Structure formats: C-alpha cells, structure tokens
Amino acid sequence: MSTTFLYGANVHANNIRQHYLRYHHATSETSQRAAVVIVPGITSPAVTWGFVGEVFGRQFDTYVLDVRGRGLSAASDELDYSLDAQADDLAGFVAALGLERFAFVGHSMGARIAARAARRAPRSPTSVVLVDPPVSGPGRRAYPGQLPWYINSMALARQGTDAEGMREFCPTWTKEELQLRAEWLHTCDERAVIASYEGFHSDDFHADAARLEVPSLLITAERGDVVRDEDVVELQRLNQAMAHVRVPDAGHMIPWDNAEGFYEAFGTLLGAKLFDEQPIA
C-alpha cells in the first residue's frame, strides 16, 4: 500500500517552533473535507502516531503535532508548559498554516489541549474528538497513571536503551512499537511532562468539555480506568451534544490495542469513514 506521508516540517506559531508531520492522499474529494489536526499524549512525539496519520491521510489532510517539549518542537528551561500555552500553540498552529476548516483529534493530554483550544482558536474547529482524556481535576480522583512511570522510562531513554529496555514499561506493545518509543522518548522534556501531569490534577477539563460548541465525540477505552461509565454520564450531562463510543479490547493507548475499533469509533463525524482497507491508487 502506498504511503500517505507527505513530509515533516516546522512552523513558527505562538512564538515557538512547532514541528509536525503531514499525511494526505489528495483527491478532489479528500481536499474538500476539513483538515484534521492530531494532538498526541503526554509522552508521545508525533512520529509515534505516524501509523494513525497514515490511515487518516487516506481521507483527510492530516497534521500530527509535536506538542511543545516533545519530539522536535521547542523545549527550554524558560518555556511555559501550562495547558493554556499548549492550547494557544494549537490555535496558533492552525492560524499559521492558514487552515480554513479543521477538526481537532486529541488523545489523553492532547484531548485536554484540544478541548481548551477549541474556544481559543481564531476559527472554531468543525468538530472535536476527545480520545480517553484524563478526567482528573480539582476535587476529583487522581489520574491512574503514576508519575514515576513516566520519569523512570524517560531517564532510561535519555541514557540510551532498546525495545527490550522499554518492555518493562509497556509489556503489551509489539517490538516495533517498543523500538519507536525507545528511539524517541528521550525527546520528551521532563519539565514538560511533570507540568502536564500536575495539570491533569489542577486544570478543569470538565469546564472545557462543557463549553464545546461544535460537534464532539468522546472515545474511551474499555480498559485502563481513565474514563469510567459515571464519567461518561457526567460529561454527556455537561455537554448533551457529545456522542460517545467505548472501544472494546483496548487500554488507554487505544489504536495500539484495537486499531480497527478505534477507526470505526469515529463513524462519519469528520466527514468520511476512516476504516477502509482499500489500497491507495
């Protein structure tokens, strides 16, 4: 099957360098649809979502973003790693690229960024997809992932390790997935990860989700305890227009565990179905 990968690039947006990967099989039909901007999670550089970008690129002009402090985007001692700064990055990104119509798809931390950015972007997205977002926050239960898991795995990656070294932290992943994580995890700035993790417990995600004024979809994992049934009920009570799909046989890293179920969960919200096994012409 031909690739939909076009190129990797950098753009100066919101006063920092933002790196992204672009995927698109351009046809008259796909070019008329809203672009899709994918925002990965707390320790996921854009390249680790490349296999997802490949699939999205069959139907949409797709951009997978390196969040500040991850991958090849800017990182420094002075950089603000708050949720507001990350959301303004996303708003600045779509403005800098001149995207007229776009949807946000955010996973985990990326979902929280997408929800906040939806009301800060110069133009509203056509839709927002929140994939297994941490529902922790002020007065709520803690995020189930533990900070030492991130810190220790990043330290190992900075020293230099291989797939087997990463297996202790991600025992269910394939060798290829572990190799990619071992190669790229060192690019995640520990300061950025700590700030985002602390933000999981201090930022009010529910308030952002409630304010979404565009079609929205909550995609959650059957396993992992990040989003429970009662959390879904609360989010849909706060935002009655929010649809929900629970993906079976999947933990928090949903497309790693059940890629077909992940793609099917989108339905036609973005303007076309994602799951399509037909090869690219």
Q: Which residue has the tokens 């996921």?
A: 44
> Nearest-CA neighbor of 105 among 276, 279, 265?
265
Q: What are the tokens at 109? A: 């931390």
Tabulate helix, strand, coil % of the chain (nearest 5): 40, 15, 45
**Residues 220-256 as b or e (16 or more Cβ within 10 Å = b):** bbeebebbeeebbebbeeebeebebbebeebbbbbbb
- Report how far residue 254's alpha carbon sits from residue 256's, in angstroms, rounded to the nearest whole number: 5
Q: How far apart are CA 16 and CA 62, in angstroms?
A: 21
Which residue type occupies 8? G
pLDDT at 215: 97
Among candidate residues 189, 145, 194, 191, the one with its CA nearest the CA of residue 170: 145
Under 8 Å between Cβ of 40 and 62: no
CATH 3.40.640.10 is right for the domain spanning 5-141+203-265: no
CA angle, residues 211, 265, 85, in degrees to nearest 5 = 40
pTM higher than 0.95, yes or no? yes
Alpha-carbon gap, residue 36 to 65, rounded angstroms? 11
Strands 62-65, 35-39: pairing kind:
parallel
- Residue 180 has, within 13 A of its CA and on its CB side, a CA count of 15
Give the residue carrying structure tokens 């009570």.
237
- What does the pLDDT read at residue 1? 56
DSSP string covering 106-118, please? EETHHHHHHHHHT
Q: What's the rounded Cα separation, in Å, for the pair 6 and 59?
A: 14
Question: Which ranges of the chain have pLDDT less than 50?
Answer: 278-279, 281
